[in-house]
Each structure stands twice: as structure tokens, then as C-alpha cells.
Structure 1
Amino acid sequence: MLLPLVVMDKINIIESYVSADQELQFQFVKILDNLCASGSDLDGLASSYERAGISVGESSKLTRRQLNKLASRLAKTYGLDIEKFPNVAFSRASGSLHYMLSKYYKEGGISSDNMEDLIKASVLDNVQLQINLLLELIRYKDLPAAAYWAQYFNIDSRNIPFQLQDYMKHHPTVKRHKWQNNDSTDHHNDEYYCLNISLDQVHFIDNQGDLQHCQQTLCQQGNVIGVDAEWRLSACNAGVERIALLQLATKHAVYLLDMIALTADVSEEILRGFTASVFSSTDTIKLGYGIAGDFRVIAHSWPFVAEIVGTPCQVIDLQIFARSVKVAVEAKSGTNKKDTPPSHKSTSPTNTQEDLTTPSQCTSLNEAIVMRTFQKLDSIPDTELPSVPVSGDDVVGDDESNTEHSASSGPRGLGLLVKECFGRPLDKSQQLSDWERRPLKREQVYYAALDAYCLLEVYKHLKEKALAISPDFNITPFLTSSTAGKAVYKGQKEEKGAKRVKELYENPPKRTGPPIRPGDIKLVVDTMLQGLGRQLRSCGVDVVILTNNQHHYDAIKSCQQDGRVILTSGAPFNTLKGMVPEGMCVHVTPGKARDQALEVFDHLNIQVTPSDIFSRCQMCNSNNYVLIERSKMAEIFESLPETALNKCPLKLNGGEVREDDEVPTELRIARSSLLNNTNYPIVGLNDGLSICDGVNVVLSHNGVCLNIKNIPVGVLEHVDIFFCCSACGKVYWEGKHFERFVRTFHGVFNTASTT
């Protein structure tokens, strides 16, 4: 009963239905888990839904990747043990293994002395994971490592790839594998940025007394605190992200909070009080980089502080702050690097004090990107969140495989920002080490302290640069506050006791000149505006709608390749608009899809006429139809077996047919335009249509299968013409939905040119 709702992307209905029943929650996730098994026939299931009249569509949810993501999210939401769902657990572990090896071979994010322990902890006795490990190592062309692990796990020779078998024949004696040395044990290596305080000033906090002393020091008025967190790779924790270490740095000391010991030995009341005193205080400033990820894991590990870290006060995300300073630097120097790709994973980042982060379109510091730090940051490139994919579907191609670190790899995230500020990156080789081991290694302590302390130095550097550019610079817009949802800018006048807040999302000017027709403009909407996209398509606008598994940067590609205007909403707008030509990214106000469509029509000067209604397929965006008359559709029904027909006794929800004088002008014109469009050929059996395999009706000119199963037989009594999309096979007919849509936009249409 629930799976069809998954296909139709009605997950909210499912969640509402099972919300109060733990057994239903478990059973539903179990069903999803079974579908994720390698032997499940998802294509067959999709075909059965199509035959039942349930459209799977181009963005099908019936893929292992989508089902894995859904099952994993629901298991986490409902607090279910992921180990009870073996297929989802395996997918997460496989994804973690892929991520871990990628970090080692391509980025140097794992030191050699940690690599072996992580593999043993993540693979364990799972034979399929052991085989996946061999395949991954072969992709990286590290046959000695693959041979070592094949022998270590005593893998059956039938499960060893032929390439590796051949290597092992010629190398019968396999020695313990020596991992390529990624270590940087010399903390004062000139290659990397160094910690500028002594390790004697780094304090390990694992009991209540030390915690209370730490609290008193941190909460002194005027303190600036660097915040970072570390946790063990989730594959080593049965798929669970559990914070192991919280780093809090001040000018004179760094505190490493042992979250595991504190959880076991200190009461929730004291821990909650400590968290509130640090993150809810308006007397101190907290600094982070991609800090939303740290807050997320803290909230997951300590649910009793979720509300506190969900609405922090006086927090600055240096990722956002650095971008804004970069914008001001470019504005002052008169540069605008339009050709910079939408990711700062550059092969050779500039080592100057001026190159601080990704460029944007803003012309002054106070017009730069400003958003709440704890908002969702998935639209921002290179957020340094050490999480792992939930699925192992993405594999590294042979062209990317190399036993050496990829030549294009380099510092990213905070490491890159430190390099741009000070000329040397951070050493990230301890990033994915075992953060739950006690005692921590000296290298781990050094890494953890530096990751938090460098935030203070980066902030100071960026602030000095901002003041040099703009002496009246005000930090307030970059501070999150649980009592102020938007940024306030210095110099704004107060009106009736309330500060007037500058609009965060500044759209390009409205388009002027003669109105344009819906077919004369191309748009792309991101995943948050899918409803708007369908409304615009229904009005005849050429719209690409991003699916849930696509990224905001797919919109940038569509803009660059096809000249489409990007429609987005919220925080992604400020990121996207700086990466496309001026005027090619428009912010849409959150609200109902109809109101958003009217806003788009007004801003882009689009004039819709009744003849545009439903001139495009809502499923695939094509504007090519073929028409099937009622008599010819009846012939098709007679030629098909009963199993290929929809016997549902549904009739159109129409009631009595209106007289012509009762039909609104817009509806009359829309009907006439659809029926009299000479570009839509009339087809029938043996005249543009044929029956394939006895059950499928296909278009002769391109082989597209029409979705006849979606048509209830009873509709023939009421419908004269069927409109069939020649691109995807979706079949439409005039019903109450058509009439309701036209009436919804009553008064908006221009009928002058079509009456």
C-alpha cells in the first residue's frame, strides 16, 4: 500500500501515516531494505506500476540509490538500529569504504598508520565488503595492497578478480603491505601551517571538574572561540556518526573535550548547562568553518542539547565570511573572475593574500553573501563536513585511479582558506583517524588543536583585510542570533523602534520592453521549486526541473549550455547568482506555486495566453503531441487484451456540460487552441501507431510507447480527443483538472491576440 506513494514522491503522506506506530515504521523500512537487495527486480516492479496506471516518471524513486537514501534517512529519523536492515547497512559501509580509500589515495586525508586499522574496523568479516575492498584497490592500481588483503581475509580464490589472481601467481610471497607514507609527523614542516601555541596550552577535558573550569574560562566577556569537532568514520561505528572530540580554542588555550568520557561520567543537566553557556551566550563570538555539520553531529550525539546548537548566538561561519571579503577585494581591485568554475577545488590555488574564496557579483562588503550559519549549507561548495555517502553506487573510474595522490588534488575547505591567508595549507592527514581511541596520539592532539586555533587567526586576518577595504566595516551581518533572524547593517535608520533590515536576496532588475511568450524563454528550477516548475510548464514555459538527486550546480550547467534562467529560493541564490551572467539567476519568494508563477511572469515580463495552457508535457517538457480521436482510441482498446487495459470504472468529474455562454473566454480559447493546432497530427492504428508485443501501443516514427494503461476505460464516454506526448508517451485528456487550472489563472491571460 505504501510503495506506490514512494513512486509518486508522496513520502510526507507515508511519514504521517506511520508516525505513531513503531511497528509500522520498522516494517516499512524493512520493505525498503529488501528492495535494496542486489537480486530485487526494480525494473519489473516499475513496469507493474506503469501497467496499473501509476506513472514512474523520469525521476523514478525506484532505484537502489534512492531507496537506500530513503531507508537510511527514515531509520535515522525513527531511531531504528541500522544493523537490522542489512542491505542499507551494507550500502552505507560500502560507501564509507569508497570514501575512505578516496581520501587516502587522492587527498591524503588519512595517515598511513591509521589506514590499516580503519580497513579492519570497517570491513570486518563481511565477505562482500572484502571483495569490494579488492575491487577498489585494483581501481587505484595498488595490486600489492589488494594481494595483502586477499590473503589477510583468506578470501576464496573464486571471489578474487582475475587481474589480481594473475598478480598473485607471479608474486606468491605476499608481505605485510606498507602503505604509501602520507604522514607529516614533523609538526614544523615548512610545507604545512603550524600551531602557534605550545602543546602545553592544549588541555584535555574528560571530567566534571575540568569541564566547569573550562566553562569559566570560555565564557569571559569578549572572548572569541574557535569551534571544531571530530568523530570516527561512521563505517567503524555501525553507520552511526557519534562525536568523539569537541575542540574549543581561545587566544591563550585550546580545550579538547572528550565527548565519550563526558557522556558517561557527567549528568545531562550539567552538559546542557555547559553547552548553553557557550553557544547561547551573547558575550562571546564563536567561529567555525562549515559549522552546521559540527552542530548536526553534536545534536545527534547529545539530543538534549539539539535546541541549543540549532539556534546558536553570535556564531560566524568563516566559509561565508571569507567569501564576502573576497568579493570586496575583487570590487576594490576591479576584477571579476567570471570564468572561475563553481568549485574552488582548483589545481593551483593562488598563494596571495588577496585570493580568499569564491568570487561573486556583489559590489561592496555589506552587499555580500549574508545568511544564517545554521541554515542548510548543502548548496555551498566544499563545505568541510567529514560525513560519508550512504550509498556505494559512485565508483572511481580507472582514469582517476592512481597509486599517487591525484595531481589535481590539493587543499580544500578550511585547508585551502588557511593557504590563501597565510601561504601554507593545513595538514589533513589525521582527519579520518580513529578519534575514539584513548589516549589520543600526539599527532591527533596536534591536529585537533590546530584545526580549532587556526580559526582565530583566519578570522583576525580576514577582519583586518575587511577594515582595510572599508573602515566602517561592521561584523554584525555575519553573526547568527537566535533573537534576530536576519542580519542588520550599520547605519540603517530605525523606524518605529524596529530596525529596517536590508533584503538578503537582491534580484536583478525586472525585464522591460515588449512582453515575451512562454515559448520564447528557457528556465531551470532547482529542487526546492519543483511545484513552481510544473505550474510554469502547464503555462507553456520551457522549464527544466531538477530532480531530488541533482545538485544546484546542474542548474549552472543548464544555464551555461542552454541559456536557461535559474529560478531558486533561499540561501542557494546568493551562491548561484555569482556564477552565472548578470540577470540569469532570479530569487523566487517562498509561497504557493501559483503565486510564485505570477511573480516569475511579472519579473521576467512573460505574457501567457490561453493558447499556451498545457502546450507542454508536464512530465518531460516536450511540446510535441499526437492526437487520438475517441473512435480510434476505442479501436486501440478493442485490439488490446483486457490485462493491458485500466478497468477502473472512473468517469470524469465533470457533472453537466456547460453551454458555450457559460464557459469563460480563457477556457474556450484554450480548448480551441489545443484542438486546432495543426502541428499535432491525428494518428490511429496502422496510421502512425502500432501494437508491439501484443500489449504496447507505440508511435511508428520513434518507437515511444504510449501510456495507454493510464486511461480508465470509462473516460471514452466523455472525451473526444486524447493528447499523447510523442517524447515520453504520457497521455492527457481534457477534464476538470484542465478547467480548474484555467480558472486558477483567470484574469491573468492576455486574450487580445487569441480571440
Structure 2
Amino acid sequence: MNNPKSTGSGGVPVVKTDASAGKFWVPKGLSKDQLEKTRFEVWLEPLEDMWEEQKKKEVCQTFHEALSSMDRRVHHSFVLDLVDHSRDLRKRKPDTLAFLILREFDTMLSVKKMTEEELTRILTPELRMQAFHLAASAHSNVFDILSKLYYLQGPDNSFLVSRVRVMLARQQFKEAATCVTKVNLHNCFSLEDICLPLIFQDKANMVERYVQGFPELQEALVRQLDVFCEQGYDINAYLSEMTISVPGVRVEKLRRRHMTKLILRLVKMFKLDMSICPNTAKSKDLGAIKYLIHKRYIEESMAQDVWEELIVSTIGDNKSVQVGFIDQLVWYNDIPAAARWARHYEIDVNQLPEAVFEELQRSDASNAACEEQDVGENWDEELPDAPTVDYYPLSLPGERIILVSTATGIQQCLADITSKQNPMVGIDMEWRPSFSPTQKSKVALCQIATHETAYLLDMTALWVSETKDIVKDFFQQLLQSEEILKLGFEISGDYKMLGQSFPELQEVLKGEKRTVDLNGLGKQILKEIPRSGNSRIGSHGLTDLVHYCFGKYLDKRDRISDWERRPLRQAQMTYAALDAFCLLEVYAYLKEKVSYHGLQINMEQCNSSKTNKKSKSKAKPKLSKSPKKKPSFSEALNQPPPPPISAGQLAVVCDNMLQGLGRHLRSCGVDVKVLDNDDEHDEALQISLKEGRAILTAGQPYIQLKSKVDDGKIMCVQTQKKAKNQVQDVLDFFNVTVTPADIFSRCQLCNGNVYAKVTNPEMRQLWLHKQTLLGKSRHADKDDDKDVCGNFEDVMITGDDDYEDEEDELRYMRPTKQSSDSGKTSSATDQAQGVASQPIIVGNPYGYLTSHASNQDRSTTVADSSSDFDPTSVCTGTAFEASAGASQYMDRSPASYTEGALDFSNVKVGKSVDFQVDLVPEGILDVVDHFFCCTTCGKVYWEGKHFAKVCNQFAHVLDRGEDRQGKLDDGAVTA
């Protein structure tokens, strides 16, 4: 039989003697180069044939026979040629012939090891460069094994830098980063070479992997990113000056807000010091200040003394934040308070706004000295106090609340506890809230309550070198005692915080015994108790359990306060004592219930130590095993689904993937908070637990969050549905009844539901006066110039909607051209007054906010061109006539209205909020009698065709609501 032939290098024939066995006869007399090339060509074809036939065993056998037939000094070059010419090397899949060959070669070398001297002679720079070139274009697993076999990670691999430079010149930043990471060439490249281009392309995850294990590089990166966050820094100028142009720059991701989040993530990930990023720290501290100001001036949900404590502790000695705080007070139009705080912080008058400087000049020396002497006085007496509520009281007399700050005191506390028969204590802990990454909180107060006394352990004073050992011994004897029963509510979180605050106590906490968590015990007991009366238990919190047991809620107004400040206020001490003491009373109540109903329940079965031991196993996540669902309080009472509720009674938080749904629910009158695009999904959980809102989410976030909230407080939305159908699913899930009066009862911009009624003459006066105030914004940096809503709730909607007439719904309307007279008046007044105003956007004739932008993004000014706006096409027609006028419809709405909330001189509404009258087209003033302005953000609404359109879009929901209207009228639901 004739043997098949193939042609080798230079046309030299190669005769196959036994192709199936992989044996070949190679003619003699060939040069070295011809011989090496002929070898891989002869062996590659049969190897690929066997690979295609999925004969991996035969491939390995043939490959080893090939290596055994040649000198080991050419093995590395032979293998590299086989890999280089294999057809599937660059297919970017893990299972390839190239990878199999390399793996078998690695196995052989591990058995027949070469000396370092041999490898040095064999692995020339040229051969290693060839291996690096192949690795850069292959799958990751091929790169790894090539790097190992050809010593690409060795200390003498700097010659590979030239190849990476070629990639950078070709703008292949991602590939370059992978290569540098694989072979450890980080020291050969600057931040501007690889890291920053990837950041500009929004590939932060790759940058995190790139700098992993290089602390100096991590710090340098964070410092440079922080420079980009400096006030007034021009990132576009930096991009234009880079030596290598970067394609695909994500400019929207380079704003200060996004950059700050990235910096904080890197700082947390690599455990860096916040001092290396001062601009970011200042930004977050100012964000905390804005939050506190919002809580005080807008929500009015924080007592003045508590607020002042938090302001002082948050600002500290940071002069730049102090100046920013003064600016924020001016922004809220509280000039007197700004002047008083300016005196307290001794701000340089050259850094103060002119209005504050003038206020300081008007104040007399005696008042200034008094205000500078005591910042804690009430500076805002004109603000009304919160209404009196009948909270659950502390039954201990004041003299039985003992603050422990000495070694003697803590020893007396332990002696008192251990001297009692069957000792039992309630334990709770407090720490200062942290509003920014520059604040590091730790346990400041540990409350230990017996039936006669509440001991408040001042951990700040006790945890010093003189008493540290005594405190450690106290916790060891208390927590590890078999005789003392410890009660807490979600106490595992307190124990965790205690261990983080004082690491020397972590060993003590590992041995804690007889600790009962009343959260789990309460749910277990209530599950067995037959339903009684109309009692309903809230979804979470000790205050809900106390209310179920005793009919009153706990007073939580002092919960968010500065627990590290000394001396503690009496209100703080009472709050702290009650939080621990009420645990004893709740336990006694639950124990009585168990006895009364004859339940077979172990009152000590819900202890935190078991929970802690389970949580240590990180290899077995909770979701892998379908864990047993914890019953909620409502489940525990075996209650049927709740009766229908009105739209205004439902409060939800929407994940950032459901922003469109959130906006449309708000259109139906639902109280909705929406996460921002960059917020983590866990943020929804925090808002839910803090404000009692239900969570709307989907996909993996739903799986992650479901186990952390009670049933009925979270819904998995079907994202494949249109928003219109999603709305109905949500209303069905929560049993919500919607009436036409609920439509637009909430502000689309900020979720507020308090409006100021404005008549047409008043609107004309405000509109004309606002034209004289346009064009002089005192905040030049648009990235920081945020309105009330943008600062805190950040519910601006982005993305597309699923509604059928979305194009009509999101259509912009140009306002009418201003008359030349009004323009002259505005210019003259501007020069005379120099009053600041906000940038504006084009409004919508339907009274519906169509621009998905917050105030800081408003760059479009009033159009100075002719308009095709026809006011009669907006506010006339059957829908408007059928409504019998805006005032009648709004009077039926569940929204609240306020009279006398307008500031005509400054064009503001509510508590010094800019009245957005400049967004109202001039032609609307001729056809609308009444307007409604949101007192939270200043957005102006009026009734037009859009109300009818939304009613039509939600007709299926409104019809459903009307069917249930009888139930509402019968008293089943109250607003």
C-alpha cells in the first residue's frame, strides 16, 4: 500500500508510516530551522483530526510520543509552534486543543523537571515574547498556563513592556490591563497609561482587579480621582491634554457625584484612609449636612436640640464644611441662623455671603456674645414643637437611672445583678449615627436594666487603660453566665457592633450564653396565639411589639442623636433606660400569654448565640437551601389579607430598575420613593426598615432582600410587563383602591402632597416678578446646585416608559416669547437688585413634569423665539369641562392644601422654596383660573388634558376602585 505524502518546509517530502499511531519518518539532511518547522507541521494535522473526533486520550498519547521523539531542548519551541498554529487558539473558549497541549506539557515538566540553567538557555527573550504575544490573544486559562511555562511573570520580564505599549498605542486599554495584571508589570506603567482610561470608559471593575494587591497604586488612584472631584475642576480639559486619546469616554460617569461613589467604594474595598481624598470627604460631609438640614427645615422631624448636637458632631473642626453649612442655611433663607452659626464657628467674614455679613453687622455685641457662648440654645423658636403624643412611659423613677463611668460603678452594677435570685436583665446599646465616611461610630452607651434599676454604661469613659480590664471582666461574667438571663431585641446586631467597637471583647462575645432575642420569640409566641380583636402588628421594630403588648408606642425622637456627647441630656438618658427596661416588661407580658393560652413554648429557645454560629458558615449561603421562612407579626396572628386601602395609605420604595413604575404609581397617588441609578439594592432595605415602606424590586435583588423583610412588605415585579400592567399588579398585591381624586394628588417631582392654592391674579403677579429675578444664580457649580428634592430623595426618573402614548406624554412645550418690555424690565431690575435665581427648563402645558432632570441639570433658558403654543388646545375640551374646574377636582383630592404660603417679594413658597413660576408658559395665564404649587419643591400644576389622558390610561384601575367605593364609604378604609 502506498503511503500518503505531505510536503514539509522548503518542499521537502515527509512520509507518514503510521498516521494512526502518530509515528513519522523525517528525511535527514534538513537544516535546524527546517527540521523544527517540519516537526510541528507533521504532528499538528493528526492532532487536530483526533481533537475534532473528540479523542482526547489519543491526543494526549500522540503528543507525548511527539515530545519523546525529539530533544528536550526544543520542547518549548515545538509546543509554542503547535499552539500558535492550532485552529482554535483564538476562539476564546476554555476547552481547546491548545489548552490541552499546554496542560499535558505542564504535567510532563512537573515529572521531568529542568534545571534553572537549562531553562535560562532555552527560554530566550524572543521565545518568551512569542509566548506573551500568543497569550494576549488567547483565552484567560491559556494565558495563565503560558505565563507559568514560559516564565512570563519572572523578575526579568521588562522586555514585555514594549508589547503592552503597542496595545496602548492601539487604544486597547482593556487588553493591556489584562496582560499587565497577568505578568505583574504594574510598576512599568503610570495611572494615565491604563487605570484612568479605563475609568473614563466606565470600566471600574477592571481597574479594581488591576490595582488589587498594590497598595501604593490604590492610594495613587484614589488621590487622582479625588483631584477630579475638586470644586471647579475641568475634567474635559484633562481629557484633551492626555497623551493617548481615549475612545468611548462616558462623560456622564465623570461627574462629581459618580466619581465620589467610586472613590468611596475603592476606599472601603482596599481599607484606605479617608484623609487621602479630602475633596470626597468634604462632599460627603456636606451631603450629611444637607440631609440634616432637610430633616429640620422640610420634614420638621427632628427636635432642635438633637439637630444641633448632630450638626456639631458631624461638622467638627472642618472649616470648609462649616462654610458650606452657612451657605446651606442661606439657601434655605434662614439668614439669622446662618449668622449665629457663623459667629459660633468664627468664620472669616470674607468667606461669608453678603446677606450673612449684613446680618452680623445689624446684630448688637451683647446678643452676639450670648449666641457665641452657647450654641445649644434654641435658635429657631418660631418653629412649632411636635404635637404631644401619648408614648409608652418609663415606670422607673429618675433616681433609678444610673450613669456608670467608673470602675467602682461597674463593679457595683455587676454585684447588684448577681445578688438577685434568678437574675434577668434587658440589654441595649447606642452609638452615634454616621452620616458620612469620615465619621467612625462605636458603641457609646450600653444599657443594662434590672427590674429596679437601669444602668447606663458610659463606654467612652470606661474603655480606657485604667478600667479596660475591669470592663472586659464585667462583660465576661455577665454574658457568659448560665444564671443570668439576657434579653434583647435583634441583639445580635448590638453584639456585633460591640465587638467591632472594642475588638478585645470579641472573644468574650463568642462565649455568650442565655441571650434571648425578643424579636424571634415574640413572633413565635404570637403565631400560636388565636387572633384577638382588631389588633395588628407592624412589620418590624421594638416599638411595634411594645404597641401590641401595651397599646402605646415608644418615643423614638432621641434615637438619632449624638450619643458620644457629654453630658447626656435627660431626654437621652430616659430614652436609653426605657429601651432596655421595656424588654423586661415585654418578656413578662409574653410569658403571661404563653401561660394563659397553655402554649408549649420554650421561652429561651430564640437565643442569639445559635444565630451567630450559623452566620459564621460563609460556604453555605442562606439561599442555597430554601430556608424556613420567619413568620411576620401579621402571620403570627393568623390574620387574613388586609382590607382595601386607599392609594394615599400605601408607601413603597422602588428599586432603581423600576423607576418608570414608581413615577406612574405616584401618578395614582401612591407615596413612592425611587432609588437613584447608582444606589445599591440594599438601600431599598434600609429605607423600608427606617420608614416602614414596602419594597418593589425584581430578579436577584428580590431573592436577596426577601429573607430580610416580612411577607407582604416586598413584591417581585414582573419586568417583562408594561408599566401599565405593573401598576395594576402592585395595586392588586397591596389591595389598593384608587379613585379619580387620587390622580396627581402627589407631586411628580418630589412626591410631596402639600400644595399652595394660587389664584390667577396672584400667579400673574408672581410670574412677572420672577422675570425680574432671572439670570443671577449664586451657585455656579451645577453639579452641586441641587434643589430640595434632588438633594435627598433623588427621585428623578430616567429611561423609557411602557405607555402607549409616551411620545405625547413626554413632549416638551416651548413657552411663549417674552415681550420686549418685560425683557427691559428684567434687565433693569437685575442690575439694580442683583438677586440670585435658579436655572430653568422648559415647562409642560399639562402641568406634568416632563423633563427628567433635577434643578442642578437645568441649563435651558426661556426660549427667545416665536412659539407655536396654543393655550386653548391645552386647557379646553371635554375633559377640562367635565372636571368642573381645577379647584373642584383638587378639592376632592386627598392632597393637603395650605393658605398664605406665598412669599411674593422673593417668589418662594412654603419654607423658602423657589416657586417655579418661570416654568409656566405665559399663554397659560390667559386660560387657567387656579394653580397649585408644591410647597416642597415649588413645582406648579394646573388641570388640563393630561389629567384626562392619565385617567384613560388607568381606566382599568379606576373602574376597579369604583367597584370598591362602597367599602370605602362604609368605613372599611380611612384616608
TM norm structure 2: 0.38
Which of structures 1 and 2 has the larger relative contact order (alpha carbons within 8 angstroms, sep 6+)? 1
Larger Rg: 2
TM norm structure 1: 0.48
